[in-house]
Copies of this chain bind each other. A is one copy, B any other.
Amino acid sequence: MAEKITKREIDYSKWYLDIIKVADLAEHSDVKGCMVIKPYGFAIWEKIKDQLDKMFKETGHQNAYFPIFVPKSLFEAEEKNAEGFAKECAVVTHHRLMNDPENPGKLKVDPAAKLTEELVVRPTSEAIIWSTYKKWIQSYRDLPILINQWANVVRWEMRTRLFLRTAEFLWQEGHTAHATKAEAIEETEKMNNVYATFTQDFMAMPVIQGLKTESERFAGADETYCIEAMMQDGKALQAGTSHFLGQNFAKAFDVKFANKEGQQDYVWATSWGVSTRLMGALIMTHSDDLGLVLPPKLAPIHVAIVPIYREDSQLEEIQEKLKSTIDELRAKGITVKFDDDNNRKPGWKFAEYEAKGVPVRLAIGPRDLEAGNIEVARRDTQEKQTISIESCADHVVALLDEIQDNLHKRALDFREKNIQKIDSYEDFKSKIDGGGFFLAHWDGTAETEEKVKQETKATIRCLPLDGEKEEGKCMVTGAPSKQRVIFAKAY
């Protein structure tokens, strides 16, 4: 990797983009705001997807697929939802191109192929899904419906940023229907818990679970649960959301069911989603000035082996000697890459695997071979160690677990150091630009929330679910408050 990485302390934004570039994760496309997810980036996303999909199925959900287009009349049915997304919609108005008589070889939109009703490219699928659920639900026996969809969605963003904010992104969206309010709330909480478990156990990224304020809620939801993570620059990143939609969509689409008593009632709904944004969160939680750092559970390659040799016979000897170690690792489900590419020098390969965040790198040359040794380098701490080839497989298996744990611990320590209680608004204003999470009392009004946002660019990330109920006074207005909330600047 000849390419330089901007240091985090110099320019965190630039560093972020440099990491994406050197690790070969994604790039801007020729379509404004849309990205190309490159094979190595996509392999990480596949790991995220496969694990989440397993967890969704284990909690009783099934996958299905709904159309990418939402007819305008359906889109506008739930008014708050429509209002929330109308300003960022890609709209299909025609269904045909024709030869442009004025520009031979060029095409133009065929005015004769105008649609009678415009189609919105889904920014989220509540509307199209609830117009479908209406046909599926008659009685309480048809409930609950527990469906998830893996899909692409489009929200026309003016200021985009790879993975964090793109016009098109990939995500999953769960859409469930229930007979009772209690059951729907239980589902909303359950899925927020699934997200928290996933981000902590697989991404090694600690999160705070909480509720959004009314102004930060999903358009059309009665309550939005979220998981919030702290990035290395102290900013917050909303990593997932789970919405209790009440009966809003059921009312908008007239979806009623006969309950056990034979009475008609509107159906209760939830929706929940995480997206390729998680890739951005993953990068900004663990990576360093040398490149990407990946938790082993999401790494496409766990172990890279770099043989150091002059003669082909030496390479063969190394291969022969490591065969049982490699077999043993692979049998344990560990992905091993033995890199015998003749066109690259060992030093180049070391830098390459460092840049790509491969958790463990092994190196072995003729002298190591003679001594029966191998060098083990761990990506997270940069530590190197020479061990015997015989003990290598067991050592690596244990080391991968250790790296996974260490990354989580390191991120948790960082967050603990950068979260503080604060009671004075003046104090808050002087500290907020330094980053971090601030636990402050808030009077519960949208006005105060907006004032803080205008004056400091910080927002209320959430009302933490496990926050202690502590009486206090709003740091801005002095009005009474029953719980501290988290203020932070956010991605």
Q: Are A63 and B46 in contact (CB under 8 A)?
A: yes
Report the minimum CB–CB distance from A441 to chain B (whole Å).
38
A86 to chain B, nearest CB (A): 4
A29 close to B88 (CB less than 8 A): no
* B92 adjacent to A72 (CB under 8 Å): no
Assuming A63-B46, A92-B90, A96-B89, is B107 touching A75 (CB within 8 A)? Answer: yes
CB pair A62 B91 closer than 8 Å: no
A277 → B minimal CB distance (Å): 14
CB pair A63–B42 under 8 Å, yes or no, is yes
Q: How far is the CB of A89 from chain B (nearest CB, A)?
A: 5
Contacts of A67 in B (CB 8 A): 29, 31, 34-36, 168
- Identify the interface centre among A70, A97, A120, A152: most chain B CB within 10 Å of its CB: A97
Report if A54 contacts B (CB, 8 A).
no
Which residues of the partner chain B approach A90 to less than 8 Å between Cβ atoms?
A: 69, 92, 94-95, 119
Q: List the B side residues contacting A76 at CB < 8 Å.
A: 105-107
The answer, among B62, B74, B120, B170, for a CB contact under 8 Å with A30, is B74
Are B91 and A156 in contact, CB atoms less than 8 angstroms apart? no
Indicate if the CB atoms of B168 and A68 lie closer than 8 Å.
Answer: yes
Residues of B within 8 A of A45 (CB): 65
- What mask results when residues 64 to 102 of chain A are scored 1 for a CB within 8 Å of chain B, else 0? 111111111011100100100011111111111111000
A interface majority secondary structure = mixed
Asked if A250 is an interface residue, CB under 8 A from chain B, the answer is no
> Which residues of chain B are within 8 angstroms of A132 by Cβ–Cβ distance?
29-30, 36
List chain B residues, Cβ under 8 A from A64.
Answer: 36-39, 42
Q: Render A153-164 as a binary contact track against B, CB cut-off 8 A, 1 for contact.
A: 010100000000
> Which residue in B42, B75, B105, B106 is a CB contact (below 8 Å) of A62?
B42
Instruction: Report the separation of the CA atoms of residues A75 and B343 in the bound assembly, to the nearest whole angstrom.
Output: 37
Which residues of A108-128 have CB atoms within 8 Å of chain B's CB atoms?
109, 118-121, 128
> What 1/0 flags go to A23-64 for Cβ under 8 Å of B?
000010111001111110011011000000000000000111
Establish whether residues A92 and B92, one from each chain, have CB atoms under 8 Å apart when the complex forms: yes
Residues of B within 8 A of A38 (CB): 64
Residues of B within 8 A of A66 (CB): 29, 36
A292 → chain B closest CB, angstroms: 17
Whole-angstrom CA separation of A432 from B34 in the bound complex: 49
Q: How far is the CA of A91 from the CA of B121 in the complex (A)?
A: 11
A6 within 8 A of B: no
How far is the CB of A113 from the nearest CB of chain B, in Å? 8
B96 near A88: Cβ-Cβ < 8 Å: yes
Question: Is A429 interfacial (CB 8 A cutoff)?
Answer: no
Residues of B within 8 A of A403 (CB): none
Q: Let me know if B107 and A82 touch, CB within 8 A.
A: yes
What distance in Å separates the Cβ of A141 from its nearest Cβ neighbour in chain B?
7
Is A131 located at the chain interface by the 8 A CB criterion?
Answer: yes
Tell me which residues across on chain B come within 8 A of A131, comparing CB atoms. Answer: 30
Chain B residues closer than 8 Å to A168, beta-carbon distance = 67-69
- Say how far A260's CB is from chain B's closest CB, in angstroms: 12
Q: Which residues of B contact A109 (CB under 8 A)?
A: 91, 93, 118
**Inside 8 A of A87's CB, which chain B residues have their CB?**
96-97
Nearest Cβ in chain B — how far from A160, in angstroms?
A: 12
A301 CB-CB contact with B under 8 Å: no
| A411: chain B residues within 8 A (beta carbon) | none
Interface residues of A in 1-31 (CB under 8 A from B): 27, 29-31
CB atoms of B42 and A65 under 8 A apart = yes
Give every chain B residue within 8 A of A128 (Cβ-Cβ). Answer: 29-31
**Does A147 sit at the interface, judged by CB under 8 A?**
yes
Which of B35, B39, B42, B96 makes the CB contact (< 8 A) with A86? B96
**A residues neighboring B (CB under 8 Å):** 27, 29-31, 34-39, 42-43, 45-46, 62-72, 74-76, 79, 82, 86-99, 105-107, 109, 118-121, 128, 131-132, 135, 141, 147, 151-152, 154, 156, 168, 170, 343
Instruction: A31-B67, A91-B96 are known; give 16 further A-B pairs, CB within 8 A.
Output: A27-B135, A29-B66, A30-B71, A30-B131, A36-B65, A36-B132, A38-B64, A43-B63, A68-B152, A79-B105, A86-B96, A88-B96, A89-B96, A109-B118, A141-B343, A151-B152
A-B CB contact pairs (8 Å), 8 listed: A30-B131, A38-B64, A42-B62, A76-B105, A79-B105, A86-B107, A87-B96, A93-B94
8 smallest CB-CB distances across A and B, nearest first, come from A34-B67, A39-B62, A37-B65, A86-B97, A95-B156, A91-B94, A31-B67, A93-B93
